[in-house]
Structure 1
Amino acid sequence: MFIDEVKIKVIAGDGGSGCTSFRREKFVPMGGPDGGNGGRGGSIIFVGDNNLKTLVDLKYRKIIKGLKGENGKGSNRYGKSSDDIIVKVPLGTTIYDDDTNLIIKDIININDKVVVAEGGRGGKGNKSFATHENPAPKFSEKGEKGEIRYLRCELKVLADVGIVGMPSVGKSTLLSVVSNARPKIASYHFTTLSPNLGVVKLKNQDEFVMADLPGLIEGASTGLGLGFKFLRHAFRCKIILHMLDMGAEEGRDPIDDYKIIRKEMENYSKSLANKKEIIVASKMDLPHAKENLIKFRKAFPKLKVMEISSYTLSGVDELMVLLNNELKNLKEEGCEESNYEEKVYIKFKEEKPYIITKEGDLWVIKGKEIEKLFNMTKFEEEEGVLRFARKLKGMGVEEELKKLGAKSGDDVVINDFLFTFKG
C-alpha cells in the first residue's frame, strides 16, 4: 500500500523526578542531602531510511510516545535516562508542524535526522539545591514534561526523471521496458494510482532512477481527481519526461493534451513548470501517429520531440541516453538543488516568560517558562512552595500584578491551579 501523507501526534517522555533524601548512617547524625536527579525522558527522532518507499508504517501509529525517565533515589543515585524513540521514514519525507504548517525538516539523505519532540529533563534532587545558605534543602523537582507536537508528514518521491502525461499514454509501459520496475499495466484509465520507481541501467554502467507518475487530468492543480498528490511527486524530479500519445486511439488530441498538462504544472508551481522537460511522442507504431506528430510539430515548431514505441522499442535506447546526458549536464551546472522547494523551517521566537490577563474576577498567568516552573514544583513540599514563590517574585510577576491593579486577596490562576495573591 502506497501512503504519501499521514498525520500523527508525538509525545516525548517526561523527565524523572528528583529525590528528596538525606544520608542516614550509624554515627553520622548530620549526613546531609543525598537525593539524586531524575533521568531525562526519551525524545522522538525521525531518521531517513533508503529502504522505505511509503509512509504506511506511520499510517497506523496515530500516537508515538516516548518513555519517562527514571526517578532519582537516595544515596546520590541518579535516575536512568530513557532511550529515544527512533522513527524511520522514507527519503523525500517533509515533516510539518501541523499547527503552524511550517516545515520542521526535509528528510533528503540517508540518516538525515531531526528531533521532533524533545524529552523532558530530569528534575533535580535536593542534593543539587544545597548551598551555603541552605545546606540541607528539603525539596526537589519533578521532571520536566516532554514536548507534545502534532505532525503532518508528506512524501515526495525522489527520482531523477519523472514521467508525466494524461492517463494511458504509455508511462507505465515505458518504465517496465527500461527498468526493473513492474508497474500494473492495463487498457483502462488510472491503472497507476501511486508512483512507481525503477532503476534504468545503461550499457556504459551509468544508471538513474525513473518514476512513473499517475495520470494527470484537467484541473489537477486545483485538486481535481488526485491532482495535488500527483503533481507533488513531480516536484522533486530533476527532469520531467512529458509523454504524449501520438496514436490518439481514443480520439485524444496530443496538442490539447500538451497544453493542458503544461497549464496544470504552471498553475501548481512555477518551479515545477521551469524544470528541464523532454517531450516524448509515444506509440509511434500506431497508424495515425506520424500524421499527428506532423500536426504537433507545426503547432509547436520550437519544441524538440523524441519519437518512441515501447512496443517495438524503437527510439527507447536513444531516449535513455539523452536523459542520462541531460542529468550529467544538470550535475555539472550545479542545478541539482533546484529540485527542492524553498523551505521555511520553524524558528521558534523567544517568548515572554509569562502573560497576565484579567478574566472576570480572576488574574490568569500563562507562559511557557512559568508553566514549566509550575509543573516541576512539588507543592507537597513546603520548601518547594517557598522556592516557587521566590521564583515568581524574581520573574517580576508580583510587581506586574500590582501594576495591573491586583490587590491582596485576589485570586490568581496558573495552570488551572488557584492561588491567593498577597501583595
Structure 2
Amino acid sequence: MKFPGSVLVSVFLFVAETVTALYISSTYRSAGDKIWQSLTLLFSLLPCVLVQISLIFIHRDLSRDRPLVLLLHLLQLGPLVRCIEVLFIYFTAGKVEEPYVSITKKKQLPKGGCSDEVEKELGQAERKLFTHRSAFSRASVIQAFLGSAPQVTLQLYICVMQRNVTTSLCVFMSISLLSIVYGAMRCNILAIKIKYDDYDISVKPVAYICIFLWRSFEIATRVIVLVLFSSVLQIWTLPLVLLNFISKSPFPENIEKALSRVGTTMVLCFLTFLYAGINMFCWSAVQLKLNDSDLINKSQNWYCMAVYYMVRFIENSALLLLWYMYRIDVYMYVCAPLVVLQLMVAYCLAVLFMLIFYQFCHPCKKLFSTSISQGLLSCFKFLCYLCIPSKAPNKGDKFGAKLSDSSDMSEHMSGKAVEVQNGNPELGASSSP
C-alpha cells in the first residue's frame, strides 16, 4: 500500500499558508493598511471555505451521520481531521481482516505492441485511501489557483509599491508559490489519470522534477509580468483579468439525477471559474467540455497547447512592453531591459522543460499517436511554408521566356539548314517550293 505522502504535503501547505496569511494580515492591521489587510484575509479565507466544501462533497458527509466531522469542517479544521483519518487507516491496514475486497482490472503499458490486462485486489482500506488522495488533490488545485495565485500576486504588488520586502513576506510568498506549483503538478497528474484511466500508471521521480521546473518557471514568470503591468497601468488590470476569465461553457443536456438543477448549475459555474483561474496563470493540461457527460476532453491535442503557449508568449511580451513604456519612478534603479530579457528566458525555459517532459518523461508516451518532436517538426514545416513566398511570374520573366523560346526556334531552324546542306533529300524536297 502506497504511503499517503501527497495528503501530508497538501495539509502542510494548507496550514502553513493559512497561518502566515493571518500573521501578515495582523501586521497590515498594525500598520493601518485596512485595504491590504482585507484583501489578504479574503484570499486566505475564501479558498479555505471552498476546500472544506469540496472535501465534504467528495466524501458525501451530508448524507452520512457524522455531526462531529461537519462541525470541525465549519471550524476550518477539516483537512487536519482528514489527515489524521488517513494516517490511522494507513497504519491500521492489514491488522484486521477486511470483510470483502473488490477486483479491479487495469491495462499495462504496451511492450512490444501489446498490452496485458492485470487483475488487482483492492481492499476497503486501500479504497478509502484512494478517495482521500483524490479529495486532497482536488482541494490542492482549489487552494492553489483560487487562493495562493491571487495571494502571491497581491503580496508581490504590495512589496513593489511600498519598496519594502520583509522576511515574513518572503516566507509567505515562497509558501504561496510552492502551493501554486504543487497545485499545477496535481493538475498534470489528474489529467494523466483521467485520460488514461484504463491503464496502470506510475509516475517516475524524473517526471516530477520536470513538471516542477516547468511549472515553477511558467507560474513565476506569469506572476511577475502581471505585477509589473498592474503597477503602472492599474486601470487596465481588471479588463485583462476579465478577458482571461472568458470561457464558453454551454449547460450540459444530461444532468446527474443525484443533484438538482440549481446544484448542478452552481457546480458547473464553479468548475468554469476554477478552469479559467488555472488558465490565467498556467496551462491547465485538460480541455473542459461542460456539454459532455465526461466534462473533460480526453484526447491529446498538441495544437491547443501550442496555440496557448504562443498566445501567452505574445501576451506576456505585450504586457512587458507596456510596462517598459510607462514604468514609474519605482523602477528608477532597475535595469528594465535586463528584467524583460530574464523573464523571456525564464518563460522559454518553462516551455523547454515542458517539451522534455512530453518527449521523454511522460508515463504514457507509448500511447501517443504522434510525439511532441513530430508535432514541432510539422509546425516548423508549416511556418517555413508560410514564410517562403511563392514565385509568381512577372513581366521580366515573361520577356525572358519569350527570348528563350525564340533562341530555341532559331537553333532548330539552323539545325535543319545544316541537314539540307548535307544532302538530306526529304528535307530538301520539303523545303523546296
TM-score range, shorter chain: under 0.3
Which structure ranks higher in relative contact order (CA pairs < 8 Å, sequence separation ≥ 6)? 2
TM-score (normalised: structure 1)? 0.23
* Structure with more of its chain in helix, by fraction: 2
TM-score (normalised: structure 2)? 0.23
